[in-house]
Amino acid sequence: MAKSAKKNSWVLTDTSKRIWVESIELNASDLGVSGAAGIGIRKYTLRGGLSDGVDIIEVNNGVMSFTIMPTRGMGMLEGFYKGNRLGWTSPVKDPVHPKFVHLADRGGLGWLEGYNEVIVRCGLESNGAPGTDMVPNNNGVPSPIALGLHGRIANIPAHYVEVRVTGGKEPELCVTGIIDESMLFCPQMRLMASISTKIGSNAFTIRDEVTNMKATAGELELLYHCNFGEPFLDKGARLLVPASDTAPRDARAAEDMDTWAVYKAPTPGYVEQCYWHVPLADAKGNTVAMLENAARNKGVAIRFNVKQLPCFTQWKNTASESEGYVTGLEPATNYPNDKMFERENGRVVKLPPFGKYLSEFVTDVYDTTSGVRKVEQEIAALQKAKPHKVHSNPKRGLSRGA
Amino acid sequence: MAKSAKKNSWVLTDTSKRIWVESIELNASDLGVSGAAGIGIRKYTLRGGLSDGVDIIEVNNGVMSFTIMPTRGMGMLEGFYKGNRLGWTSPVKDPVHPKFVHLADRGGLGWLEGYNEVIVRCGLESNGAPGTDMVPNNNGVPSPIALGLHGRIANIPAHYVEVRVTGGKEPELCVTGIIDESMLFCPQMRLMASISTKIGSNAFTIRDEVTNMKATAGELELLYHCNFGEPFLDKGARLLVPASDTAPRDARAAEDMDTWAVYKAPTPGYVEQCYWHVPLADAKGNTVAMLENAARNKGVAIRFNVKQLPCFTQWKNTASESEGYVTGLEPATNYPNDKMFERENGRVVKLPPFGKYLSEFVTDVYDTTSGVRKVEQEIAALQKAKPHKVHSNPKRGLSRGA
Amino acid sequence: MAKSAKKNSWVLTDTSKRIWVESIELNASDLGVSGAAGIGIRKYTLRGGLSDGVDIIEVNNGVMSFTIMPTRGMGMLEGFYKGNRLGWTSPVKDPVHPKFVHLADRGGLGWLEGYNEVIVRCGLESNGAPGTDMVPNNNGVPSPIALGLHGRIANIPAHYVEVRVTGGKEPELCVTGIIDESMLFCPQMRLMASISTKIGSNAFTIRDEVTNMKATAGELELLYHCNFGEPFLDKGARLLVPASDTAPRDARAAEDMDTWAVYKAPTPGYVEQCYWHVPLADAKGNTVAMLENAARNKGVAIRFNVKQLPCFTQWKNTASESEGYVTGLEPATNYPNDKMFERENGRVVKLPPFGKYLSEFVTDVYDTTSGVRKVEQEIAALQKAKPHKVHSNPKRGLSRGA
Kindly report, residue by residue over A294-343, the tens digit of the pLDDT: 999 999 999 999 999 999 999 999 999 999 999 999 999 999 999 999 99
What is the 3-state composition of chain C as percent helix, strand, coil, each rounded to the nearest 5?
Answer: 15, 45, 40
Residue A143 with chain C: CB contacts under 8 Å: 107
pLDDT-derived band at C284, boundaries 50, 70, 90: very high
Residue of B nearest to C147 (CA): B106
3-class state of residue C267 by DSSP: coil
Is A320 within 8 Å of B215 when comparing Cβ atoms? yes
Q: Does A49 touch chain C (CB under 8 A)?
A: no
Q: Does B215 touch chain A (CB under 8 A)?
A: yes
Which positions ≥6 away from C130 have C-beta within 8 Å?
C107, C108, C109, C146, C147, C148, C149, C338
Q: What is the DSSP letter of C399?
A: B
pLDDT of B35 strictly over 50 = yes
Q: Does a structural domain hold residue A383?
A: yes
ipTM (interface predicted TM): 0.96
pLDDT of C1 strictly over 70 = no
As a whole number, mean pLDDT of residues C374-387 equals 98
Is A48 within 8 Å of B353 when comparing Cβ atoms? no
Q: Does a structural domain hold residue A381?
A: yes
Task: Give the number of A-B residue pairs with CB atoms closer than 8 Å.
Answer: 110
Q: What is the pLDDT of residue B1?
A: 39
Distances (CA, A) of C145 to A84, B359, C311: 51, 36, 25
3-class state of residue A31 by DSSP: helix
pLDDT of A2 strictly over 90 = no
As a whole number, mean pLDDT of residues C347-362 equals 98
Question: Is A156 within 8 Å of C50 (Cβ atoms)?
Answer: yes
Question: Is C384 within 8 Å of C234 (Cβ atoms)?
Answer: no
Residue of C162, C183, C213 to mutate for B, most B C-beta atoms under 10 A: C183
Residue of B100, B183, B213 to mutate for A, most A C-beta atoms under 10 A: B183
Query: What is the number of other CB atoms lying within 10 angstroms of the CB of residue A23?
Result: 11
**H-assigned helices in B235-301:** 251-254
Q: What is the DSSP letter of B4?
A: G
The H or E element spanning position A60 is: strand A55-60
Nearest neighbour of C322 by CB, restricted to A158, A185, A214 = A214
Q: What is the pLDDT of residue A242?
A: 98
Q: Does a structural domain hold residue C397?
A: no
Is C139 within 8 Å of B47 when comparing Cβ atoms? no
pLDDT-derived band at B6, boundaries 50, 70, 90: confident
CA distance C129 to C239: 23
Is C272 within 8 Å of A213 when comparing Cβ atoms? no
Q: What is the pLDDT of residue C169?
A: 86
CA distance B229 to B326: 5
Distance to chain A for C56, nearest Cα, Å: 12
Query: What is the number of other CB atoms lying within 10 angstroms of the CB of residue A34?
Result: 11
Angle, vertex CA C376, rays to CA C372 and CA C380, nearest 5:
170
The H or E element spanning position C342 is: helix C339-344
Buried b (16+ CB within 10 A) or exposed e, C74-98: bbbbbbbbeebbbbbbbbbbbbbbb
pLDDT of C388 strictly over 90 = yes
CA distance A267 to C169: 80
pLDDT of A1 strictly over 50 = no
pLDDT-derived band at C141, boundaries 50, 70, 90: confident
Question: Is B104 within 8 Å of B132 (Cβ atoms)?
Answer: no
Q: What is the pLDDT of residue A36?
A: 78
Q: Does a structural domain hold residue A400?
A: no
Q: Does A49 touch chain B (CB under 8 A)?
A: yes
pLDDT-derived band at B3, boundaries 50, 70, 90: very low
Reference B106, options A89, C9, C74, C187; nearest CA is: C187
Distance to chain C for B173, nearest Cα, Å: 25
Angle, vertex CA B195, rays to CA B192 and CA B198, nearest 5:
140
Is A113 within 8 Å of B216 when comparing Cβ atoms? no
Q: How large is the greatest C-alpha to C-alpha distance in chain C, in angstroms?
A: 62
Q: Is B265 exposed, middle or buried (0-12, 13-18, 19+ CB in 10 A)?
A: middle
The H or E element spanning position B10 is: strand B9-14
Which positions ≥6 away from C114 have C-beta within 8 Å?
C50, C72, C92, C95, C96, C97, C98, C100, C101, C154, C155
Q: Does a structural domain hold residue B400?
A: no
Is B185 within 8 Å of A109 when comparing Cβ atoms? yes
Is A215 within 8 Å of C47 when comparing Cβ atoms? no
pLDDT digits (tens, 9 = 90+) for C195-249: 999 999 999 999 999 999 999 999 999 999 999 999 999 999 999 999 999 999 9
Question: Is A369 within 8 Å of A296 (Cβ atoms)?
Answer: yes
Is A104 within 8 Å of C102 when comparing Cβ atoms? yes
Q: Does A93 touch chain B (CB under 8 A)?
A: yes
CA distance C14 to C17: 5
Residue of C nearest to B102 (CA): C102
Q: Does a structural domain hold residue B397?
A: no
Q: What is the pLDDT of residue A35?
A: 77
Torsion sign, CA atoms B225, B229, B231, B236 = positive
Reference B167, options B328, B6, B390, B354; nearest CA is: B6
Distances (CA, A) of B396 to A68, B275, B346: 55, 14, 13
pLDDT digits (tens, 9 = 90+) for A250-279: 999 999 999 999 999 999 999 999 999 999
Is B183 within 8 Å of A112 when comparing Cβ atoms? yes
Distance to chain A for B52, nearest Cα, Å: 12
pLDDT digits (tens, 9 = 90+) for B278-320: 999 999 999 999 999 999 999 999 999 999 999 999 999 999 9
For residue A10, the enclosing domain spans: 2-390
Reference C302, options C314, C285, C287, C283; nearest CA is: C287
pTM more than 0.90: yes
Residue of A nearest to B71 (CA): A49
Reference A68, options A86, A85, A43, A46; nearest CA is: A43
Number of domains comprising chain C: 1
Residue of A nearest to B140 (CA): A271
Q: Does a structural domain hold residue B204?
A: yes
Question: Is B92 within 8 Å of B76 (Cβ atoms)?
Answer: no
Nearest neighbour of A49 by CB, restricted to B15, B215, B354 = B15
pLDDT of B274 strictly over 60 = yes
pLDDT digits (tens, 9 = 90+) for A7-44: 899 999 999 999 999 999 999 999 999 877 899 999 99
Q: What is the DSSP letter of A151?
A: B
Question: Is C225 within 8 Å of C72 (Cβ atoms)?
Answer: no
What is the 3-state composition of chain A as percent helix, strand, coil, each rounded to the nearest 5?
Answer: 15, 45, 40
As a whole number, mean pLDDT of residues B99-121 equals 96
Q: Does C271 touch chain A (CB under 8 A)?
A: yes
Residue B320 with chain C: CB contacts under 8 Å: 214-216
Residue A322 with chain B: CB contacts under 8 Å: 188, 213-215, 354
CA distance C259 to A176: 47
Q: What is the pLDDT of residue C5?
A: 58
Reference C242, options C378, C61, C50; nearest CA is: C378
Reference A9, options A122, A152, A160, A118; nearest CA is: A160
**H-assigned helices in A68-203:** 105-108
Residue B188 with chain A: CB contacts under 8 Å: 91, 322-323
pLDDT digits (tens, 9 = 90+) for C241-250: 999 999 999 9
3-class state of residue B124 by DSSP: strand
Is B140 within 8 Å of A109 when comparing Cβ atoms? no
Question: Is B56 within 8 Å of B46 (Cβ atoms)?
Answer: yes
pLDDT of C332 strictly over 90 = yes
CA distance C158 to C179: 4
Touching chains, B (3+ CB pairs < 8 A): A, C
pLDDT of B5 strictly over 60 = no
Q: Does a structural domain hold residue A273?
A: yes
pLDDT of C150 strictly over 70 = yes
DSSP string, A331-389: EESS-SS-HHHHHHTT-SEEE-TT-EEEEEEEEEEE-SHHHHHHHHHHHHHHHTTS--E
CA distance A67 to A80: 9
Question: Is A349 within 8 Å of A221 (Cβ atoms)?
Answer: yes
Question: Is B233 within 8 Å of B326 (Cβ atoms)?
Answer: yes
Residue C271 with chain A: CB contacts under 8 Å: 136, 138-140
As a whole number, mean pLDDT of residues C254-275 equals 97
Is C215 within 8 Å of B322 when comparing Cβ atoms? yes
Residue of B22, B42, B52 to mutate for C, most C C-beta atoms under 10 A: B52
Which positions ≥6 away from B382 have C-beta within 8 Å?
B242, B280, B281, B282, B287, B288
Nearest neighbour of A216 by CB, restricted to C46, C102, C269 = C269
Q: Does B23 touch chain C (CB under 8 A)?
A: no
Q: Does A134 touch chain C (CB under 8 A)?
A: no
Strand-pairing partners, residue C325, are C318
Q: Does B112 touch chain C (CB under 8 A)?
A: yes
Question: Is C154 within 8 Å of C254 (Cβ atoms)?
Answer: no
Q: What is the DSSP letter of C199?
A: T
CATH code at position A61: 2.70.98.10
Q: Does B50 touch chain C (CB under 8 A)?
A: yes
Residues in chain A: 402
What is the 3-state composition of chain B as percent helix, strand, coil, each rounded to the nearest 5?
Answer: 15, 45, 40
Q: Does B90 touch chain C (CB under 8 A)?
A: yes
List phi, psi (to 5°) of C377: -65, -40
Residue C106 with chain A: CB contacts under 8 Å: 145-146, 186
Which positions ≥6 away from C222 have C-beta within 8 Å?
C121, C122, C123, C124, C127, C208, C210, C309, C332, C333, C349, C357, C359
Residue of C44, C45, C50 to mutate for A, most A C-beta atoms under 10 A: C50
Distance to chain B for C158, nearest Cα, Å: 5
pLDDT of C3 strictly over 50 = no
Touching chains, A (3+ CB pairs < 8 A): B, C
Question: Is C54 within 8 Å of B48 (Cβ atoms)?
Answer: no
Reference A199, options A29, A6, A34; nearest CA is: A34
Q: What is the pLDDT of residue A139?
A: 81
